[in-house]
Amino acid sequence: MEPLKGVILVDQITAQTFISGHIVEKGDDLVPAGLLGRIGTSGMIVYPDFSTILAMKAEAKASILADMRRIYDGHIRKEFGTANNLKTREWRGRITFAVAATPAVDSHYGIFQSLVSCF
């Protein structure tokens, strides 16, 4: 099956997935490495099993959910120990998140309330 343009299917996420300290050269430009750099300014991220994020340790989960809120707001910026181009440390655009989960997701109601209140 041919993937849809701008739609990325993700099975696992880490705190470095969206933007990482690695710099990628794309033509004459430097772009943020990671998922957002590949998607560009508009697209969709699909999690077929969001329970993989919900099962993470609290700190990792909180970091990823915070990144998701910033991405939904249209801007995320991260600092790294590299002195490379500062534009590669941020992303601006609009991403749609689509997730699927088992009924066990109901036990995480508080997490979704914190996300919904931001949207």
Residue 83 domain-assigned (yes or no): yes
By three-state DSSP, how is residue 13 classified? coil
pLDDT of residue 84: 56
State how far the Cα of 75 lies from the Cα of 47, in Å rounded to an integer: 20
State how far the Cα of 27 lies from the Cα of 44, in Å rounded to an integer: 24
Residue 2 domain-assigned (yes or no): no
Tens of pLDDT, residue by residue over 26-80, are: 665 655 578 888 888 999 999 888 888 888 898 998 899 899 989 989 999 887 6
Tens of pLDDT, residue by residue over 76-109, are: 988 766 555 555 678 899 999 888 877 766 666 6
Domain extent at residue 93:
7-118
Tens of pLDDT, residue by residue over 4-32, are: 778 889 988 888 889 876 665 666 565 55
The total of structural domains in the chain comes to 1
pTM above 0.95, yes or no: no
State how far the Cα of 70 lies from the Cα of 77, in Å rounded to an integer: 9
Residue 1 domain-assigned (yes or no): no
pLDDT of residue 93: 94
State how far the Cα of 64 lies from the Cα of 84, in Å rounded to an integer: 24
Residue 96 domain-assigned (yes or no): yes
